[in-house]
Each structure stands twice: as structure tokens, then as C-alpha cells.
Amino acid sequence: MTEKPGIEKDQDERGEPLRVSFLSRRRFLQGAGGGLLAATSLSTMAAAQERLPVDAIGRPDPQMTTEPPIEPERRVGYAVVGLGQYALNQIIPSFAESRSSRLVALVSGNREKAERTADLYGVSHDAIYDYDSYDRIAENDEIEAVYVILPPALHAEYSIRAARAGKHVLCEKPMAMNAEECAAMIQAASEAGRKLMIGYREHYEPHNLEAIRRIREGELGTVRVIQTDTSRPINPDVPADQWRVQRDLAGGGSLFDIGIYGVNGARYLSGEEPVEIRAMTHTPEGDARFGDVEDVVSWQMRFPSGITAMGSSAFSYQANRFSVEGTEASLQMQPATDYYEHNLSIRTQDSVEEVQIDEANQFARQMDHFSEAILNDSEIRSPGEEGMQDVRLMLAIYEAARTGQPVAVDWEYGRPG
Ligand code: NDP
């Protein structure tokens, strides 16, 4: 098995900033796909990279280049809001691998943690804000963009305040608690003349992009069925999981937190928007973790071309795989939306291709996409409207599960481009 970059530890339960050390990581074991199969054809890395880049909806992606970093003073300055596990362990360390983004400010309710993080990453203590002094970011011209990495219930407020302070906004998934909040975020950015992007890192991840390219180019024949399963066991003893089991902070349970990858994945793998949704939920009795949020959600979506997608999410076991069944071939990804490891294979009746692509820092790529959209005033691949579509679909999934009836998707949404 090839060595792939990864971090030693995902989270520090005390909320300490962690230095990331890129070391070998084999979180998903050989049985994840490749190790069990006899590869009958291999596309070389060079060939795969030659075909790249495309974007998450299969368009050529001029921003996904191997161009060298731009001069530090021209890079877009970011304030990161909320110093939790994702900010400290994935996003903030990734500025070092970005080409057009730099960390210039921190926003946190914990001054001591913020100062330690600032010292680690060379941020001035004058550029540390708390949630009360947050609006003062307007006075700091070094901050051009704000990256909101708070629990979902706070996404709308802190995104809107950032836009009103004159900053571009990159906000984590799920975009917000409901469609009204999403619409308010989009409106605030528009009124301020600022850009709004949602943190769909997998739109910038090479294996997902390659899967989309293969599907769009017809390698699978006509796609009939898509399956997405994205789950992880939740542990409310860990601080980062405490808000995840509170509906008023998280917006929902497994679906809002991790199922969103599968909902979004079904959309970018099919390249279509669903027209009908059916769903069921299951929450085991007697499991104290699930007093407020659901454990298992399973859903079905019907797409205009006739593609059926099935998806599941849960907070009680680990799963991370996509599969796409076409008339000529079948595509598997497992892990599909991991931080550091992905496997992509394509099978026909008599062959298996293990697609070889280098892992890339999708966190840095995502930020650079946003920075370059700001610098060049270019289109954003995962704008607010994309985040709003998933929020509406997830709420429709809950409604379908609650009523036991199919829900028609009758609002209009078209992907950018
Ligand atoms: P954490 O709980 O680890 O971090 C959230 C941070 O928000 C806290 O550390 C705290 O920072 C701040 N905060 C402010 N108010 C509250 C509150 N009432 N309750 C809890 N925290 C609060 O969560 P994650 O980092 O795992 O997730 C943060 C966001 O990032 C979520 O939207 C999540 O969905 C998203 N995420 C996205 C991932 C992806 O792959 N795209 C992966 C993981 C998370 P401070 O102490 O500095 O004030």
C-alpha cells in the first residue's frame, strides 16, 4: 500500500492547537477495496493528472493547477472563526500548503487558546477577536475573508456579520439550520458586494473530481443507480460531538452532520438535481446519545433522467463509500470523502481498474479556490446556493421520513455553470 500523507491525531479533546505532522496514515484498511481485487488495468498517475483538473460538476478547472504560490503580501488574508477540532487540525495547518491564502486573524471565545494558536502560526495578538468584538474585524484591512467554522446554528449570524463588516465569507457545511437562514446569508453577501462560499472540500478533492470526469465522459455507460453511505460513531464525551447531539445547535443528527456528504455526492455524481425524495429514520431506544437527534437516516432520490440514488447516514457506525452503477461499468469509492485517503476503482464484467491519483490537500485547494475567486472576481464552484440546496433537500428528507410520504422537489435550482 502506498504511503499517503495524514495527521497523527485528529483532535485534541482539550481544544489545544495541534501541530500537524504529515506522517503515514492507514486509517482505512486494505480491505477497503483495492487490496481484495486483482487489478487488470492501471491508469498511471501521470495520465490521470494530465486529464485533471476538472471541477465538481465536470467543467475544466483552471484554478486547480500546480502553479507556485503567489507572493505572501498578495495572498488573501483570512480570519478563522471558531478554534475547534476542524479549524485547528485541518484548516489552519493547511494555510502552509496554500498558494493564495494566508491566516491573519483568529476569532475565539477562549483567549488563551487563541493566543497559543496565534503564536504557533504567526498571527498578531492584536488580530485576535472574541464573539463580542467580532464586528471590529471591519477595521482590519488585512482580513479580506472570514472562514466560519462554528456549530451550524451560528453559521448564519457570523456569516452575515462578516459580510456586513465588508468581508468575503467561506462558511462550513451544513450551511445553516434552514432555507430562510441560507437565503439571509446569500442576501447579506450580495448586498455587501462580497462572495459567499460553502466548505464543500470534496469539490476540490482529486479522486472525487476524477470520478465525476469519468462519469461525465460516459465511461460507465448510462448511470442507473447511485449509493452513498456516510456515517461515523459519535461520542458525546468528546467536546466536538457535544453540539452534534443537540438539534438546536446542529440542525439535525447524522444527516446534517455527515449524511450531507452523500446528499451532495449523489448530486455531483449524477450531475442532476432530484425531483422526488423518500426516506426513513431509525433511532434506537435506550441509547443516551440520541435523545435529541436521529441516528440512522436512509433516503432515496429520483432524478430527472431516471437515476435512482440511495443514501444512508448514521451516528452509530463507520461508513464512507460511494458507488455508481452504469450500464457499462460500475464505479466505487471507499473511502469516498475522507480527509487524507481515498480509493477509486472502476469495474466492468471482466476488469477492475484501481485508479491511481496522488492525494492532495483538499483544505488548501478549497481555500485557494475561494481566494482566487476573490482575487480574479471569478465564479465560485460551491456558492451559497449550493449549500442552500442541500439544506432544503435534507429538510425534505426529514419531512419524507416523518410523513412516510414522498416529497416532491419543486423548487428551482441549477448548478453554477
Ligand atoms: P468543534 O466543536 O470542535 O468546534 C467548534 C468551535 O466553535 C468551538 O471549538 C468553539 O471555538 C466555537 N463555538 C462557539 N460557540 C460554540 C458553542 N455554543 N458550542 C460549541 N462550540 C462553539 O466542532 P468542529 O470543528 O468539528 O465543527 C465546526 C464546524 O465545522 C461545523 O459546522 C462542522 O459541520 C464543520 N466541519 C466540517 C468538516 C468538513 O470536513 N468540511 C469536518 C468537521 C467539521 P472557540 O473555543 O474558539 O470559541
Give pLDDT tens digits for 10-37.
433 333 444 333 322 323 222 222 222 2
Per-residue model confidence (pLDDT) at position 413: 83
Per-residue model confidence (pLDDT) at position 13: 34
Binding site membership of 201 for ligand 1 (Cβ less than 6 Å): yes
CA of 16 to the centre of ligand 1 (A): 13
pLDDT digits (tens, 9 = 90+) for 111-140: 999 999 999 999 999 999 999 999 999 999
Per-residue model confidence (pLDDT) at position 411: 86
Residues 6+ apart with CB under 8 A from 325: 220, 223, 224, 225, 226, 227
Instruction: With cut-offs at 50, 70 and 90, classify the pLDDT of residue 68.
Output: confident
Per-residue model confidence (pLDDT) at position 28: 25
Angle subtended by helix axes 179-192 and 155-164, to nearest 10: 10
Q: Which of 88, 93, 102, 81 is nearest to 148 (CA)?
A: 81
Instruction: With cut-offs at 50, 70 and 90, classify the pLDDT of residue 64.
Output: low
More confident of the two residues 47 and 295: 295
Per-residue model confidence (pLDDT) at position 272: 95
Binding site membership of 330 for ligand 1 (Cβ less than 6 Å): no
Q: State how far Cα 377 lies from the chain centre.
A: 23
Residue 256 has pLDDT above 50, yes or no: yes
Please state, in angstroms and rounded to a whole number, the distance separating the CA atoms of residues 27 and 14: 23
CA of 67 to the centre of ligand 1 (A): 32
Per-residue model confidence (pLDDT) at position 402: 98
Positive or negative torsion for Cα 88, 90, 95, 100: negative
Per-residue model confidence (pLDDT) at position 24: 28
Instruction: With cut-offs at 50, 70 and 90, classify the pLDDT of residue 44.
Output: very low
Q: What's the average model confidence in pLDDT over 337-353? A: 97
313: left (phi over 0), alpha (psi -120 to 50) or beta: beta
CA of 401 to the centre of ligand 1 (A): 28
Q: Tally Cβ neighbours within 10 Å of residue 166.
A: 15
CA of 240 to the centre of ligand 1 (A): 7
Instruction: With cut-offs at 50, 70 and 90, classify the pLDDT of residue 415.
Output: low
Q: Does the bond joining 174 to the residue before it have cis omega, within 30 degrees of 0?
A: yes
Pocket test for ligand 1, best of 86, 112, 158 (most atoms within 8 A of CB): 86
Supply the residue whose CA is at minimum distance from atom 5 of ligand 1. Answer: 84
pLDDT digits (tens, 9 = 90+) for 130-188: 999 999 999 999 999 999 999 999 999 999 999 999 999 999 999 999 999 999 999 99
Per-residue model confidence (pLDDT) at position 67: 72
List, in sequence order, every residue forming a beta bridge with 145; answer none if it has no partner: 78, 168
Binding site membership of 159 for ligand 1 (Cβ less than 6 Å): no
Per-residue model confidence (pLDDT) at position 3: 33
Supply the residue whose CA is at minimum distance from atom 10 of ligand 1. Answer: 82
CA of 154 to the centre of ligand 1 (A): 10
Per-residue model confidence (pLDDT) at position 37: 26
Per-residue model confidence (pLDDT) at position 66: 60
Per-residue model confidence (pLDDT) at position 173: 98
Where helices occur in 377-412 by DSSP H, the ranges are: 384-403
Residue 405 has pLDDT above 80, yes or no: yes
Atom of ligand 1 nearest to the CA of 88: 25
Per-residue model confidence (pLDDT) at position 252: 97
As a whole-number percent, the residues of the chain with pLDDT over 70 amount to 83
Amino acid identity of residue 109, one-letter, is: G
Which residues participate in catalysis according to the annotation? 173, 261
Supply the residue whose CA is at minimum distance from atom 34 of ligand 1. Answer: 173
- For residues 374, 378, 381, 384, the Cα torsion angle rounded to the nearest 10 degrees is 60
Binding site membership of 150 for ligand 1 (Cβ less than 6 Å): yes
Using only the alpha carbons of the chain, give its radius of gyration: 21
Its pTM stands at: 0.89
More confident of the two residues 37 and 382: 382
Supply the residue whose CA is at minimum distance from atom 2 of ligand 1. Answer: 240
Residue 58 has pLDDT above 60, yes or no: no
CA of 86 to the centre of ligand 1 (A): 7
Binding site membership of 243 for ligand 1 (Cβ less than 6 Å): yes
Binding site membership of 121 for ligand 1 (Cβ less than 6 Å): no
Atom of ligand 1 nearest to the CA of 87: 25
Average pLDDT, the chain: 87
